[in-house]
Amino acid sequence: MSGRAGCKWGLAVIGAMVVGLGMATAGNALERLDFAVRGASAALDKELRFASILLASQKAGTVDAQDLFADARAEYASLLGALYASGHYSPVIHVLIDGREAAGIAPLDAPARIGRIEVQVDPGPVFAFSRAVVAPLAAGTVLPEGFAAGAVAESGAVVAAVGAAVDGWRDVGHAKAVAGAQNLVADHGSATLSAEVAIRPGPRLRFGPLAVQGHARMREARVLEIAGLPVGQVYSPAEVERAAARLRRSGVFKSVTLVEDDAITAPDLLGITARLVEEKTRRYSFGAEIASFDGLMVNGTWLHRNLFGGAERLTLNGEIRNIGVQSGGIDYGLGLTLDRPATFTPDTTLGIGAQYEHLDEVDFVSDGFDVAVSLTQVFSEALTAQAGFGYEYADVTDASGSSVFQSLSLPVGVTWDKRDARTEAAKGFYLEAEAKPFLGFGITDSGMRLTGDLRGYRAAGERLVFAGRLQAGAILGASLAGTPRDDLFYSGGGGTVRGQPYQSLGVYVLQDALLNPFKTGGTYYVAGSVEARLKVSNTIGLVGFLDAGQVDVDGFFTGAGNWHAGAGLGVRYATGVGPIRLDLAVPVGGSTGDGLQIYLGLGQAF
């Protein structure tokens, strides 16, 4: 079949398929399917095979003759679309059913049995653009490089150019910009395509009022505050998307859709309607993670998404760690937070929290309590900053006796997340950093605690990903003895160095009453991890990893501290909420090792 009559023929095929659906007959299995493309590159051959409906049906095990006949009739249009996308506008396509052209078989004469189907494709020459014009364009609009005279005339390049032109006008306030008259002419003698498309920008518009639908439990005034749509300002699709993202980020809604009005409200206002579907107000969640030396960790969370009808999120969480740990005792904690989005600005969330925590570590026992108020500012989907003010109290018992640490802190942090996926990243990076100045009371020194966590990901082909992580921390201005114990740094365990026991690496600087040094965390810390993640199948993955960590006092690598390392292999099983992780690791450096360590949890290690 010639591609010149493709569009009209495609409509006929659709009609034939509709008629044919009512003619189900018993059919026998297809004995043979041949697919041949003459004179095509390997890339084009692959694209055509990917577009083939018949090959997909064969893979799916389709055997019914009526289904195969319908697929054969639809094969022309599917292959034609793939050829147009590659710049071939004069192909010849044959789909033969037991030697008869499928397009020539009337739907009412559909065969009751099909033994052999042959697909033969002659792509014909590659067409080039003789003319490539989309106009008028808004200032600053950049058309795709492939849409230019002399370039391969791929149909997708025309579509992309029109899309870029329409988006360009919408970006400067012309919300009703659409494609107008089109003049697409293929010259088969010269193998060229002339493409001219006119754009109708329409008037420049401003945001009209935001209407709200589906807010059964949310107050409408709060929906408007959270959305933050700038009513009266020049229309911008980016502002529409930001408003939708704010509503989704509130966690109250299962579905958020912002729809532009069809009509313009005089003189130049475009109304927007927020169509919302609310989530259930309450949610419960539970988690668990186990390691051979660290023991079992279990946690649970209760969440109310909309406490007072304004998207206030109340969260109660509890956690028990180190159940069955080989050294130390059980840690547990209970926390409460209340978050209110759209406080001060649409992108600012106010948080109030309180937490109690009991720590039973190898070198100290602590009961701590803290309260804090924080503001979180979302600058973009990737960049978030947080600042807060808090009070911290800890009653600590260690080899030197009992001590009470108290401080006021002003933590400031930033999170920059440029990963392509949060649960299974293949490229990009993640950066989290915090500076926490603190003012101590009594025996507590004043100073600043700095922490950083940098992760990077790079794919090497479709199945292999290399991942790396660098963690660092430092206490500035405060002595080791005058720093709250849970602010000091340790290394070892699933979050730092796998293959080494949990928090097994610290420093021996402080002395007890008999002048014997005992272990504490350090004031300086650095750790690194590298992983090679190989995807064996759609659900199974293998990981090889190497971790190393160093803890020190009064600086990095001063000699007062020590280092250790671990390495191992892991298996990942993909699920809808992230991979299930099993890691086996052994110590490969340092003096804190204790044999094979096993880690089981949900999600990648980082």
The answer to whether residue 4 scores a pLDDT higher than 50 is no
**pLDDT score, position 11:** 31
Whether 20 and 95 share a structural domain: yes
**Which of the four pLDDT bands, split at 50, 70 and 90, describes residue 9?**
very low
Cβ atoms of residues 358 and 366 within 8 Å: yes
pLDDT per position as a tens digit, 403-443:
999 999 999 999 999 999 988 899 999 999 999 999 999 99
Please give, one letter per residue, the 3-state secondary structure of 534-552. EECCCCEEEEEEEEEEEEE
pLDDT per position as a tens digit, 256-294:
999 999 999 999 999 999 999 999 999 999 888 887 767
Give the relative orientation of helices 53-60 and 65-85 as an angle to the nearest 10 degrees: 140
Q: How far is CA 220 from the centre of its chain?
A: 30
Query: Span 526-532, mean pLDDT?
Result: 97
Whole-number Cα distances in Å, 105 to 16, 46, 95, 149, 358: 10, 28, 11, 41, 79
Q: How many CB atoms lie within 10 A of CB 223?
A: 22
pLDDT per position as a tens digit, 122-141:
999 999 999 999 999 999 99
**pLDDT score, position 29:** 59
Whether 114 and 149 share a structural domain: no
Which CATH number does the domain housing residue 267 bear?
Answer: 3.10.20.310
Whole-number Cα distances in Å, 434 to 407, 411, 484: 17, 7, 17
Q: Closest Cα partner for 73 from 23, 140, 31?
A: 23
Query: What is the gyration radius of the CA atoms in the chain, in angstroms?
Result: 32
Q: How many CA within 13 A on the CB side of residue 339?
A: 19
pLDDT per position as a tens digit, 580-600:
999 999 999 999 998 999 998
Last residue of a domain, one of 99, 122, 145: 122
Whether 115 and 142 share a structural domain: no
Amino acid at 585: A
Whether 21 and 165 share a structural domain: no
The answer to whether residue 603 scores a pLDDT higher than 80 is yes
Last residue of a domain, one of 96, 122, 148: 122
Whether 90 and 236 share a structural domain: no
**pLDDT score, position 22:** 34
Cβ atoms of residues 122 and 38 within 8 Å: yes
CA torsion, points 318, 301, 430, 351, in degrees to nearest 10? Answer: -90
**pLDDT score, position 15:** 34
- Give the whole-angstrom CA distance, residue 463 versus residue 465: 7
- Number of domains present in the structure of the chain: 4
**What DSSP character marks residue 446?**
P
Whether 168 and 269 share a structural domain: no
Last residue of a domain, one of 122, 148, 168: 122
What region does 446 belong to: left with phi over 0, alpha with psi -120 to 50, or beta? beta
- Per the structure, the complete domain to which residue 189 belongs is given by 128-200
SS3 content of the chain, % helix, strand, coil (to 5): 15, 45, 35
Whether 353 and 483 share a structural domain: yes
Helix, strand, or coil (residue 160): helix
Overall size of the chain counted in residues: 606
Whether 32 and 173 share a structural domain: no
Alpha helices in 250-352 (DSSP H): none
Which CATH number does the domain housing residue 164 bear?
Answer: 3.10.20
Which CATH number does the domain housing residue 429 bear?
Answer: 2.40.160.50
Instruction: Please tell me the pTM assigned to this model.
Output: 0.78
Structure tokens, 295: 């023991």
Whether 176 and 192 share a structural domain: yes
* Mean pLDDT of the residues in the chain: 91
CB-count burial class (<10 Å; 0-12, 13-18, 19+) for 437 = middle
Whether 266 and 298 share a structural domain: no
Residues 351-389 as b or e (16 or more Cβ within 10 Å = b): bebebebebbbbbbbbebebebebbbebeeeeebebebe
Whether 257 and 336 share a structural domain: no
- Give the whole-angstrom CA distance, residue 438 versus residue 450: 11
